[in-house]
Amino acid sequence: MDATVTSLIIYPEHGGPGQELASVEITPTGPEGNRAKKHAVHLVSATDYVETYPRANIVLDIAADRLVSLVGRVIRIGEATLEVTRAPQQCAGVYAAVIEPGEVELGNALLVADA
């Protein structure tokens, strides 16, 4: 799948502005420095991010429907392995749980594990 990370954003405080980063360590509970949330990582397509500005952590240059089709799949971005768990009901993108922590950088490719 041809998709790369175009933005990495953390939200340290509830309701506060996001901080764009060149790289971030994905910990078992989500991006380092991100406030605690129910879902560890929020991924979104660049198109949806520009149109609706969801509070996502990882923005990818992928079509929104292709991203949603990854629900139930295991993906790798940089050194982190994630399981895409579900699509949110109130905003764009998908949520993911952290299987293996690791660093993610701008330009990292999204790799999908074999089914």
Instruction: Count up the domains in the chain and report the number.
Output: 1
The tokens describing 72, both together, are 């139930």
Measured CA to CA, the distance from residue 74 to residue 12 in angstroms comes to: 26
Q: Is the pLDDT of residue 1 over 70?
A: no
Tell me the residue range of the domain where 67 lies: 5-112
pLDDT at 14: 87
The mean of the pLDDT values for the chain is 94
State the Cα–Cα distance between residues 112 and 47, nearest whole angstrom. 21
CATH code for the domain of 19: 2.40.33.20
Residue-wise pLDDT for 8-58, tens only, equals 999 999 888 999 999 999 999 999 999 988 899 999 999 999 888 888 999
Q: Which two tokens stand for residue 75?
A: 């993906």
* Integer angstrom CA distances of residue 26 from 16, 31, 81, 97, 101: 20, 4, 9, 10, 5
Average pLDDT over residues 74-96: 96
Residues 93, 3: contact at Cβ < 8 Å?
no
Q: What is the pLDDT of residue 78?
A: 98
In this prediction, residue 38 carries a pLDDT of: 86
The answer to whether residues 82 and 99 touch, using CB atoms and an 8 Å cutoff, is yes
